[in-house]
Amino acid sequence: MNDVEQTEIKLEFDTPRFLHSLFANDPKNLSFLETELAVKAVTRDGWITISGAPGAVERARAVFADLESAQRNGGPIAQREFRHAVEVAAGNGMIGVTELSGVRLVGSRGRKPVIPRTPGQLEYVRAIETHDVTFGLGPAGTGKNYLAMAMGLTLLKRRIMQRIILTRPAVEAGEALGFLPGDLREKVAPYLRPLYDAIHDMLDPEEAQRYLDEGTIEIAPLAFMRGRTLSRSFVILDEAQNTTREQMFMALTRLGEESRMVITGDSSQVDLKPGVRSGLAEAEHALQDIEGIAFHQFSKSDIVRHPVVGRIVEAYERYRA
């Protein structure tokens, strides 16, 4: 006989559809809740009963309160958000789904706002808000570039910044960049495709094209930054692991009044020739603890692409170790 005190609560919601959206329309997520919090969950129609030890039941109640608040605020609820809410309730985190969904970065009318999906992404956004230069470091799929672009567009629409400048070292093109067909934007476009994709995700096509045509969003290879002073500009330097030491120093010293810079890269993906030291690697050592500069290191838990991407990154980390 079980001597542990048991209790049961019944949570009722507006509609079955709303309730199902809270566990991402997947009953398997309720099994995760039961396992992690040691409760029993039974749902039917627009209600769910949760039974177990009083403390565990209250933690489960907190999960649904967090998810309901986030959902009503317009935040996305997928498996990641559900599991995160459970882990926070279990004591494995401090930032709930509601707090994540409270940060809404601006896009076009009719487009969903960009919302940090993990605590790491939220910390990154806050670092960009409060620092002149922010380094976003880590593996693919963590939102380094996407969130930087969302922050740039938000500041642009608030008239805090006058323009966004996207740049990266065109390592693959080498000295042949000038011989590629088309104008400068067409030459560089293949190297900045992820940032272009982010622009078109967040803005409607006409607005995106207008910003590009009038130079409000400027795209240029890093070599073209030499000699310039960038004022009231939001600068995104992508693929920074492929900068040389000289290029990184040059890029950092372009920053003018009321500007911010976000530098993104992954030190495990350097494409420089053997013997050429990465400018990002030098900056990581030289600029620690400098006022106005933040370093944010993403981990595989911040990967928000297809779940298999996280498993791929983890497998490679084990193999290369």
Residues 241-261: tens digit of each pLDDT: 999 999 999 999 999 999 999
Task: Tell me whether the CATH fold assigned to 7-101 matches the one assigned to 119-320.
Answer: no
- Quick one: pLDDT band at residue 3, thresholds 50, 70, 90? low
Question: Distance from CA of residue 270 to its chain's centroid?
Answer: 21
Query: For 7-101, which CATH class?
Result: alpha beta
Determine the Cα angle at 18 with ends 14 and 24, to 5°.
Answer: 155
- Quick one: pLDDT band at residue 321, thresholds 50, 70, 90? confident
Neighbours of 65 (CB within 10 A): 15
Residue 181 pLDDT > 50: yes
| Residue 132 and residue 292 in contact, taking contact as beta carbons nearer than 8 Å | yes
State the average pLDDT over residues 209-232: 88
- Model pLDDT, residue 175: 40
Residue 179 pLDDT > 60: no
Distance CA 296, CA 301 (A): 14
Beta bridge partners of 263: 135, 237
Residue 56 pLDDT > 70: yes
Residue 70, token pair as written in the block: 């986030």
- CATH of 119-320, picked from 2.130.10.10, 3.40.50.10440, 3.10.20.30, 3.40.50.300, is 3.40.50.300
pTM of the model as a whole: 0.82
- Quick one: pLDDT band at residue 141, thresholds 50, 70, 90? confident
Domain spans in the chain, listed from the N-terminal domain onward: 7-101, 119-320
Query: In the chain, which residue ranges form alpha helices assigned H by DSSP?
Result: 16-22, 27-37, 54-72, 79-89, 97-101, 119-130, 144-157, 184-188, 193-202, 205-214, 245-252, 279-286, 307-320
Lowest mean pLDDT among 50-54, 113-117, 230-234, 285-289: 113-117
CA nearest neighbour of 240 among 265, 259, 221: 265
CA nearest neighbour of 105 among 97, 115, 96: 115
Residue 271, token pair as written in the block: 């494409």
Cα–Cα separations (whole angstroms), residue 272 to 57, 169, 180, 182: 55, 10, 21, 26
